[in-house]
Amino acid sequence: MKPIFKGVRGAPDILPGEVGRWQRVEAEARRILQDYGYQEIRTPIFERTELFVRGIGEGTDIVEKQMYTFEDRGKESLTLRPEGTAPVIRACLEHHLLTRGGLYKVYYTGPMFRHERPQAGRFRQFHQIGAEAIGVEDPALDAEVLDLLCHLFDTLGVSGWKLHLNSIGDEACRPVFREQFTRYVQAKKEKLCPDCRVRLERNPLRILDCKEEGCRSLVAQAPSPLESLCKDCKTHFHRLQELLGLLKIDYSVNEHLVRGLDYYTRTAFEFVNPALGAQNAIAGGGRYDRLVDEMGGPPMPGIGFAIGMERLLISLPQEEQGEMWIGVFAATLGKEASQLALQIVQGLRRQGVRASLDLEGRSLKSQMRLAHKERYRYTLILGDEELKTGLATLKDMAKGDQEQIPLREVVNRLVSQESRGRAE
């Protein structure tokens, strides 16, 4: 027997055995986001293609080669969302959520889609928890956002994470720097690696990030990105660093940190887990002070981040599977007993007790094994003898002892016993 179908490459199933971890992390993240004043927003997983092209930027890798784009029946070009910020801004503008003009904070969770070659920590469908804080330019907001992420990672027990921080300038100084940098590198382009020669044409600032020795030394002599910032950007960045000191948040400035989405301005950051392999960013984000404006809204600054769920999850300490030992399994012998058990189990479930019984005609031994394997705290044994005497046998699977209890009291006894069992 071979299955006929396989899942789509890069789009893994999340199986019952791992869903618990997802739920716990999502719950913790939601709690913290709410503590910091964020409300949840849910946007569709697809949008008009144009939203992403305009929002993320035409020349970016995402738009150029990673989008899942298709035509719907009305011949409209739609795209499975590759990121969350553009849809959120779109929704905020469409529903006039920013009209009050003050600070507006929302978060989202869910799947994102990018057509890349899968590898460790990289998928075609992956999941993000993201947040956007719109309407405030003050670096105190940047600090707050970074604090939120530190707090979340520490709470979850991510060990060894590092915060990389940079400022990539704004519409005033970035083009100037880009111009200077490109001119410098252009003059010495024979020292560049082949990849960087391509970058020079397409996206010169990426050269800052190259790992090749030749490129690195060239970059080291080139104009410094941070020193090329305009006065306002410098002030913003310095103030942010002061505030991070105040909040005792560890970070390292990495002036070669470049972001792959065009909308970022000023603050750019990445939370990295060095233990992870090549794809080691567990969260990333930054400021986008022009994006709202560019999307047809009022000029409003903003900052956001996205956490990669899959990468976050593998960064978490192994939690040992806590043995549950909860609930009641009704093991039966014979048809009559089986019917009685069905009623008892129904009653227990209605009282909120985890309860089950055999529906496969298993032997008693096999039912016991099943009860043990599925970690039921009690097994209620019902057979001819119990029906005759009106006393059911109740076995405590954790302790191993058993007692007789009157059939008519079974549900009530188990409900109270079960709540005591849980408390232990």
24-63 residues in contact with RNA (CB under 7 A) are 60-62
Q: Which of residues 220-279 bind RNA (CB under 7 A)?
A: 258-261, 270, 277-279
Output 330 or 353, the one with its CB closest to RNA: 330
Nearest to RNA of 209, 232 (CB atom): 209
Tell how strand 162-167 and strand 252-253 pair up. parallel
Cβ proximity to RNA: between 49 and 125 the closer is 125
Strands laid side by side in the 378-382 sheet: 355-357, 328-332, 378-382, 391-396, 402-406
Q: Is 407 in the site for RNA (CB under 7 A)?
A: no
Cα torsion at 363, 368, 370, 371 (round to 10°)? 140
Residues 345-384 that bind RNA (CB under 7 A): 362-366, 368-373, 379, 381-384
Q: How many residues bind RNA (CB under 7 A)?
A: 71
Contact 79, 72 (CB under 8 A): no
Please report which helix (H) or strand (E) contains residue 307, including its range: strand 302-308
Query: What is the pattern of x (binds RNA, CB under 7 A) and - over residues 178-217?
Result: -----------------x---x---x--x--xxx------
Among positions 306, 345, 405, 414, the unique one binding RNA when judged by CB under 7 A: 306
What amino acid is encoded at 315 in this protein?
A: S
> Footprint of RNA on residues 385-404 (CB under 7 A)?
385-386, 393, 395, 397-398, 400, 402
Please report whether residue 339 would count as binding RNA according to CB under 7 A.
Answer: no
- The structure tokens listed for 235 are 């002030």
**Among 25-33, 90-98, 122-130, 218-226, the segment contacting RNA (CB under 7 A):** 122-130
Contact 32, 155 (CB under 8 A): yes
- 8 A C-beta contact, residue 93 and residue 291: no
- 10 Å Cβ neighbour count for 108? 22
Shortest Å, Cβ 228 to RNA: 20
Which pair of tokens denotes residue 243?
A: 């505030």
Q: Is 148 in the site for RNA (CB under 7 A)?
A: no
Start-end of H helices in 283-334? 291-294, 309-314
The one-letter amino acid code at 210 reads: C
Smaller CB distance to RNA: residue 237 or 271?
Answer: 271
